[in-house]
């Protein structure tokens, strides 16, 4: 099961805890929560409802990279914990 790219994302960090709400594409509503380790890596859990009304859940490990212009690029390894249980990798880059 392919992941859909969110068109809207609001992220907040308080100490070691990162939260995010997102939607767009096939995602009607999604949320994630993550803990940041000493090296800056994120250990995430996420859940979302898609346009077919399915509740999906997953896990993700993300390693941030600071780009020369100050933006952040995330290198992610993810796995669905519902549905088909597929896994993969993604690269997400901050847009300003």
Query: What values do phi and psi take at 86, rounded to 5?
Result: -65, 165
Confidence label for 96 from pLDDT (cuts 50, 70 and 90): confident
Q: Is residue 51 within 8 Å of residue 22, measured between CB atoms?
A: no
Task: Give dist(CA 96, CA 82) in Å, integer.
Answer: 33
Q: Is the pLDDT of residue 1 over 50?
A: no
Q: Write out pLDDT tens, residues 12-45.
A: 999 999 999 999 999 999 999 999 999 999 999 9
Q: DSSP label at 54?
A: -
* Domain boundaries, given as residue ranges, for the chain: 8-93
Q: Write out pLDDT tens, residues 51-80.
A: 999 999 999 999 999 999 999 999 999 999
Q: Which residues of 53-66 are buried (b: 16+ CB within 10 A; e: fewer)?
A: eeebebebbbebee
Sign of CA dihedral 82, 83, 89, 93: negative
């Amino acid at each position: 099961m392919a992941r859909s790219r969110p068109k809207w994302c609001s992220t907040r960090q308080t100490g070691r805890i990162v939260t995010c709400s997102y939607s767009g594409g096939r995602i009607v509503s999604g949320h994630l929560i993550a803990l940041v380790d000493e090296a800056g890596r994120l250990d995430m859990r996420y859940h979302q409802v898609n346009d077919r009304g399915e509740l999906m859940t997953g896990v993700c490990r993300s390693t941030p990279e600071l780009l020369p212009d100050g933006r952040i690029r995330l290198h992610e390894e993810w796995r669905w914990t519902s549905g088909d249980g597929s896994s993969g990798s993604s690269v997400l880059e901050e847009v300003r």
